[in-house]
Amino acid sequence: MLLSIITFLPAVFALVVWGVASEKTAKKWTLAFTIVEFIASLLMFAHFKPGVAGLQLVEHRSWIPAIGVDYFLGVDGLSFWLILLTTLLTPLALVGAWTSVNKREKTFCLTVLFLESTMVGTFVAMNSILFYCFFEASLVPMYFMIGIWGGPRRIYATVKFFIYTMAGSIFMLLGIIALMLIYAKTHDGQISANITDFYKLHGQLPFVAGTFLNTQTLLFFAFSLAFAIKVPVFPFHTWLPDAHVEAPTPGSVILAGVLLKMGTYGFLRFSIPIFPEAAEHWAWVFFLIGAFGIIYGALVAMVQPDMKKLVAYSSVSHMGYVMIGLFAMNPQGIMGALYQMLNHGVSTGALFLLVGMIYERTHSREIKDYGGLASIAPLFTIAFLIVTMSSIAVPMTNGFVGEFLILLGTFEANRFVAAFSVLGVILGASYMLWMVKKIFFGKPKGVVVEKHEHGLDLLPREIAILVPLVILIFWMGLFPNTFLRYSEASVENLVQHHGQYEVQAPKVLAPHLRVAAREGVR
């Protein structure tokens, strides 16, 4: 019952807020409820066994047997930390909007709670139709969050976001239906939409190397297109900068911190294990777009005059690292990609919070309007510098561990891609440090001077938001095994079985990652 509670508790709380809270008290009620949700998610530690590769905390009941839809929830090392990231960032994002969102506050709170429920549901659903429902349902509250509380071009941004992601998901739905029909054909008419049953189709999905027109390749790209748009990878990224720039601060935090991870999680849960030969054969495509996205995102970020747009394009670059790590298809690459998903949620989420804090004071995101902020707001400067160090992967921060593992795994799979992708580290440091120099150092000027009398440094509420994120930055950087050990068994099982990922039959694996990938994965 724990996963059901974690999944639907925010939705229940939303109904309570709607029925009980007033406009003035809605945020307080919602903050209390999101904290309760986070505490409830921490209970997974009491039941989750790090050395087990398969699904845990399973809830499996027949729901709509006529079409193979079961109520099937479970968590493994691939989803464990993503659930906790979701429940942590939601209350922090809400507090970040405490004063910036000052219209239709009760509706805003309902939107946040329903969004949290759909995000958690996506990570625990182990029936493909149930997954699809949560995956698509998350679009609705985010649509309203950007469309109602966003910036001047919010309607354009939210419609573009909605159309892009929904269009991609149509291909995933067609792929799910095709897999259900194939499963029924190969199992005496038995219908199932369970993801674990799709894993058993290994050998039943024809694959011919060198041609696009075969069942496994077509289905692989049907799913991968939906997830690539969600990530988003180049060239499907154009909706992301608009959505980030126009979204309110909590929308940007949740979008960068969690929603983008639904795409990379989809590759781990569907594309790679269900279609192993196609994933291996076409890995070069994702190496290409991932590596190009790293450099492209960094170069475009370097010329952005708007600090929020700069951070948005940095997301394109960082998610490119995740893609090449996933398609290295060895333990180091996949573990690094999974770790980088968490890192990106922490560091980029913190960057959007910081940008939102300073914008709320000055009403400007133009980098040229700033200068010398370090002498006026020392606490804000320290926090921004720490998060910047994380974003550019300085050793002892979380970003270094993720990028190191990704490049290590990618080097083993394709040395040229790894060497090319390293340029992104240099470019990332260039644009982030350039922004820090322009905003924080030199003689105070522009809005820094104009708004100084009102106070520009962090408030106690804002310090409370940033402290847990700063702690995570150093904790994940200095003690990565605290997090890696919860995922390594599932990652190694994924690599070893390479499409025979038997999560329904848990298997205890060695507690440490192997140095080399299984032969033939590269």
Entry pTM: 0.91
- Mean pLDDT for the stretch of residues 209-213: 75
Please state, for a pLDDT cut of 90, what percent of the chain lies above it.
68
Highest mean pLDDT among 95-99, 325-329, 447-451: 325-329
The per-residue pLDDT for 456 is 84
DSSP codes of every residue in 25-51: THHHHHHHHHHHHHHHHHTHHHH--TT
The pLDDT tens digits of the residues spanning 430-488 come to 999 999 999 999 888 888 877 766 678 888 999 999 999 999 999 999 999 999 999 99
pLDDT score at 103: 83
What is the pLDDT, as a whole number, of residue 519?
Answer: 37
Mean pLDDT on 80-84: 96
Note the pLDDT tens digit of each residue in 238-256.
888 889 888 899 999 999 9
Mean pLDDT of 219-224: 94
Q: What pLDDT shows up at residue 512?
A: 37
pLDDT at 454: 63
Alpha carbon separation from 143 to 114, 147, 159, 160, 164 (Å, rounded): 12, 6, 8, 10, 12
Q: How far is CA 327 from the centre of its chain?
A: 17
The 3-state DSSP class for residue 150 equals coil
3-state secondary structure of 74: strand
Residue 119 has pLDDT above 80, yes or no: yes
Look at residue 368 and tell me whether its pLDDT is greater than 80.
yes
> Which pLDDT does position 446 carry in this prediction?
82
Residues 221 and 207: their CA atoms lie apart, in Å, by: 13
Measure Cα distances from 60 to 9, 11, 71, 194, 351 in Å: 19, 21, 6, 10, 39
Write out 164-232 in H/E/C secondary structure. Answer: HHHHHHHHHHHHHHHHHHHHHHHCCCCCCCEHHHHHHHCCCCCCCCCCCCCHHHHHHHHHHHHHHHHCC
Q: Tell me, what's the pLDDT at 502? A: 47
For 457-492, the DSSP string reads: SPPHHHHHHHHHHHHHHHHHHH-THHHHTTTHHHHH
Provide the token pair at 167: 């269009």
* DSSP H or E run through 142: helix 139-149
**Which residue in the block uniquely carries the two structure tokens 């409830």?**
40
Q: For the segment 253-290, what is each residue's pLDDT rounded down to a tens digit?
A: 999 999 999 999 999 999 999 998 999 999 999 999 99
The two structure tokens encoding residue 97: 């909007």
pLDDT for 224 beyond 50: yes
Among the ranges given (18-32, 79-93, 207-221), the one the predictor scored with the smallest mean pLDDT: 207-221
Is the pLDDT at 515 greater than 50? The verdict is no
Gyration radius of the chain's alpha carbons: 22
The helix, strand and coil proportions of the chain, stated in percent and rounded to the nearest 5, come to: 70, 5, 25
Reply yes or no on whether the pLDDT at 297 is more than 60.
yes
- Single-letter amino acid code for the residue at 487: S
- Lowest model confidence (mean pLDDT) among 87-91, 151-155, 344-348: 151-155
Confidence check: pLDDT of 500 > 60: no
Whether residue 89 contacts residue 253, with contact meaning beta carbons closer than 8 Å, is answered with: yes
Looking at residue 228, its pLDDT comes to 94
Instruction: Give yes or no for residue 503 having a pLDDT over 50.
Output: no
**Spatial contact of 265 and 313, defined as CB atoms under 8 Å apart:** no
Hey, which of 115-124, 455-464, 488-497 has the most confident mean pLDDT?
Answer: 115-124
Give the residue-averaged pLDDT of 196-209.
Answer: 83
Confidence of residue 202 (pLDDT cuts 50, 70, 90): confident
Hey, what's the torsion of the CAs at 264, 267, 270, 275, to 10 degrees? 180
**pLDDT mean across residues, the chain:** 89
What number of other Cβ atoms are within 10 A of residue 86's Cβ? 28
Of 466, 440, 478, which Cα lies nearest the Cα of 383? Answer: 466
